[in-house]
Amino acid sequence: MSQVEYLKNAAITYLRQARTTHAPCKWFYRNKASSHFEKVFGADGGVMKTLVKDASGDARSPINGEISGLFFLANVDYNGQPFDASPFGESRLLVLAGVMLNLAPNMYFADFYCMNGKDHYVTVVLARPGSDADRLCKQRLPKLSLNDQQNNPFIFLSNGELQVPRGKSLFVEVFFTENLDARSRIQRNQAKRETVYVFGRGSATQGGRRKTVNCPTCRVPGEERLYTHYHTMF
C-alpha cells in the first residue's frame, strides 16, 4: 500500500509540474480491432465481459492477475474531445462516464507508469461496492474521491461537471470491473460506436507491456532491486 501511495503522490506531483490543465469529460472510451466488437455484438450478445488484469504497467501491481475488468481511456484532447486516433484498434465504444460511475462508483488509484520515459499513464479502478474487486481494492489500493481534486486530479467533479486531464501529458486509464451490456447502453443512447484512425501496432500487447523501470518520474525508490527479486521468484 505504501508503494502504491508513493506512486499516487508522484503522479500528482507530475501533473502539477507539467501544469496540465483539465477539461470536461463526457465519455469513457475503449478501442479494439473491429473483430473484437464483432464477437461482442455477435456471440456475446452485446455484453462486454471482463478480463483478468494483465501485467501491464508495474509488474508488481497488487491487482495484476487478481481482479477482472475492462480498460477505458478518459482523456480528452485540447478541443475537449476524445482523441481521434488510437494504437489499440480502429473500432471504438464510447460510454457516458456518468453511467459507468453509477455502476461502479468506488474509485481507487492502482498505478503510475510509463513505457518509454515520455508518455505517462495512471490506472484508476472503478468497482461496485461490495463486489470481490471492491473488497480486494479496499485492502490494497488508496481510495479516491470525486470530490477531492487535491488528492485526485485524475477524475474529479468541479461545479458538478466531471473533469479529466487535457492533452497527452498524462493518460488516465479506467479499469472498469463489471461486465457491460454495450448493446443495451447504445439502445438507451448511453453509448455509441465510431471508427477512428489507427497508428502504431493497432492492437494491445498480449499479456501487457511492462513499465520502464529506470524512469526517474514514475519509479519507486529501490525499484531495480525489487524487480530483480520479483523476477527471481517467478
Sign of the C-alpha dihedral, residues 13, 14, 17, 19? negative
Residues with pLDDT less than 70, the chain = 200-208, 222-234
Confidence (pLDDT) at 116:
77
What's the number of domains the chain is made of?
A: 1
Q: Cell 484508476: give the residue.
A: 124
For residue range 164-213, list pLDDT tens digits in order. 999 988 999 999 999 999 999 999 999 999 999 998 654 455 545 777 78
With beta carbons less than 8 A apart as the criterion, state whether 124 and 174 touch: yes
Q: Cell 458538478: give the residue.
A: 160
Confidence (pLDDT) at 230:
45
Q: How many CA atoms lie within 13 A of 231 on its CB side?
A: 8
For residue range 10-22, list pLDDT tens digits in order. 999 999 999 999 9
Residue range(s) defining the domain that contains residue 218? 2-233
Determine if the pTM surpasses 0.85: yes
Nearest CA to 174 among 65, 25, 43? 25
Confidence (pLDDT) at 212:
79
Nearest CA to 219 among 56, 53, 18, 57? 57
- Helix boundaries (H) for the chain: 2-17, 34-40, 97-103, 132-140, 182-187, 223-233
Nearest CA to 175 among 148, 215, 137, 205? 137
Residue 67 C-alpha cell reads as: 481482479
